[in-house]
Chains A and B, each alone.
Chain A
Amino acid sequence: MKQPTSSYQEMMKGIWRDNPVFVQVLGMCPMLAVTNSAVNALAMGLATLFVLVGSSFLVSIMRLWIPKQVRISSYIIIIATFVTIIDYSLLAVFPKIHKELGAFIPLITANCLILGRQEAFASRTTVRFAVMDALGMSGGFLFALMALGSVREILGEGALFGVSLFGPNFEPWVIMILPPGGFLTLGLILLFFNWVTEKRRQAQINYRLSLNSIEESRV
């Protein structure tokens, strides 16, 4: 793209610097809806990873054959196919998790994170970069889902992955596994992210200012 980067860099940018949830604020629907436990978050993250990597791979291979005019429809067909595959596989292998995630598996199709990566990245680059980018982005998504899911399950049920952490007398914070808990936790995490970014920016500015003053004092 802009400057030549290694495929490793392409992957890492999705996890932190351009994190799809915390920085780009994409994919909010599954983010808020299925993160009421760590297991659900993990399942949703892995399903998204499968769909994103699979469709990025295909889109990147086919990018020269897909005419511009029908590209969005073609991407959607590709994405929807992968979503259907993961939907049926989950239903067959993990019916319990499928029941919990419910309508949000089919809704991965409409996750703008996935279509966005096809349109903005996979359709313009080689297969290797496309897959690494998809891995990074969905890794970042998985990381965000897990962060939210863990916090909500720890506070809301006193457990992580169903394992009780604080003993049977823990008073669960019911609101955390309800929808408002999702909004609250996400808001606080976003706040934290912005605070960290702002601190870094300030530090950089201060650093430059100090450099400038050194320059000036030399002159």
Chain B
Amino acid sequence: MNRSEPELLLQSAPLLREGLTIPTAMRDVIIALLPALLAGFWYFGISALLVVIASILGCVMTEWIFTDKQKRMIALSDGSAILTGLLLGMTLPPALPLWMAWIGGVVAIGLGKVIWGGLGGNLFNPAIVGRAFLLGTFPIAMTTWNLAKGGTDNFFNLYPSTFTAPFMQVAPTDAMSAATPLGLMKFEQVDTEIFSLMFGNTSGSLGETSGILLMVGGLYLLLRRALEWRIPLAIFISAGLFTLMLHTIDPARFPDIHFTLFSGGMMLGAIYMATDPVTSPLTTKGAWIFGSGVGVLIVLIRNFGGLPEGVLYAILFMNAATPLINRYTQPKVFGRRG
């Protein structure tokens, strides 16, 4: 290629373009999730991989069916359905029957996104809608947790419940189940050591257990400037302070800060789900309010509610409050009153 003479370029606005589009944003999040996801596969084996695939399949198929023929490829190629399926899959128990994971994906996109008019129109985070539906629909399967088996030797050992026939019950396997750190804390007042909590060698949702790796992904997103960092920070600060307060009052009953921050879906929810740009406030002030609300609700639900985990409902609740927050934190137009 030889250099041509500079020509007069005629172009309409916008003249400055940034590389940030929906597909690249989605790709960034998926890359950020990979370490924790791979750790989940390593801890829980091939069943975990299959659960994630089933959930993604459910999402993508639903998106494909309910989109206009002309827009199908565009809608799918932005990767948002894949990301929803991935996030949903990571919140599921590794031994969940595949048909349930698939239905979760269908509901996440069907009731969480398509019904609202597609990407950008939804009030609630689709992945959380899918998980909430599954939790309400199959409460036993969704709260049957398995020990992390760990290692390459066991990788191809399936959990027996993975291939349960569609619409059928899981054959009882009580011997293999193990309570999550949150369940232990809530029902038996047993603490889990910090090392296991941080690196994910505990029972729990397949992509939620490794707090450190999720934070590494968060750092990557921060470097790529693809993360509204105020929301997770606000969640950590408010949940931390609230826990500290409770822990000081009654150390025997309430867990301490590191437990609150590193157990359950805290990391995954705070960094990847609460920050979903569609369902979180637009303004920086709004982001702080949103995050603090989520943090306080998480601690409230975990310690005073009937369920051991509250990240899911805390985020759903604040999702619902987002339009209100947007309205009250709207910057004033310069020169206008009130």
Contact = CB atoms under 8 A, between A and B. Distances in A.
Check A-B contact in the complex, CB < 8 A.
yes
Contacts of A170: 167-169
B159 interface: no
Contacts of B167: 166, 170-171
A173 B168 contact: no
Nearest to A167: B168
Interface string A167-202: 001110111101010001000000100000000000
Which of A173, A176, A180, A191 has the most CB atoms of chain B within a 10 A radius of its CB? A173
A173 B138 contact: yes
Contacts of A174: 136-139
Which of B115, B137, B169: most chain A CB closer than 10 A? B137
A171 B136 contact: no
| Category for how many chain A residues contact B | 10 to 19
B111 A184 contact: yes
B38 interface: no
Contacts of B170: 171
Contacts of A166: 167
B241 interface: no
A169 B169 contact: yes
Contacts, number: 27
B137 A175 contact: yes
Contacts of A184: 111
Contacts of B141: 171
A169 to B, nearest CB: 5
B136 A178 contact: yes
Contacts of B115: 191
A168 to B, nearest CB: 8
A103 to B, nearest CB: 24
A171 B164 CA distance: 10
B133 A169 contact: no
A174 B141 CA distance: 11
B168 A171 contact: yes
A166 B138 CA distance: 17
B242 to A, nearest CB: 28
A173 B100 CA distance: 10
Nearest to B136: A175
A171 B138 contact: yes
Nearest to A178: B136
Contacts of A176: 137
A180 B168 contact: no
Contacts of A169: 168-169
B147 to A, nearest CB: 23
B215 to A, nearest CB: 33
B266 to A, nearest CB: 25
A123 B133 CA distance: 46
A180 B111 CA distance: 13
Contacts of A175: 133, 136-137
A188 to B, nearest CB: 9
A19 B136 CA distance: 31
A171 B166 CA distance: 9
A63 B270 CA distance: 64
Contacts of B100: 171
Interface of B: 100, 111, 115, 133, 136-139, 141, 167-170
25 contacts: A166-B167, A169-B168, A169-B169, A170-B167, A170-B168, A170-B169, A171-B100, A171-B138, A171-B141, A171-B168, A171-B169, A171-B170, A173-B137, A173-B138, A174-B136, A174-B137, A174-B138, A174-B139, A175-B133, A175-B136, A175-B137, A176-B137, A178-B136, A184-B111, A191-B115
Interface of A: 166, 169-171, 173-176, 178, 180, 184, 191
Given A174-B137, A174-B139, 7 more contacts: A169-B168, A170-B169, A173-B138, A175-B133, A175-B136, A176-B137, A184-B111
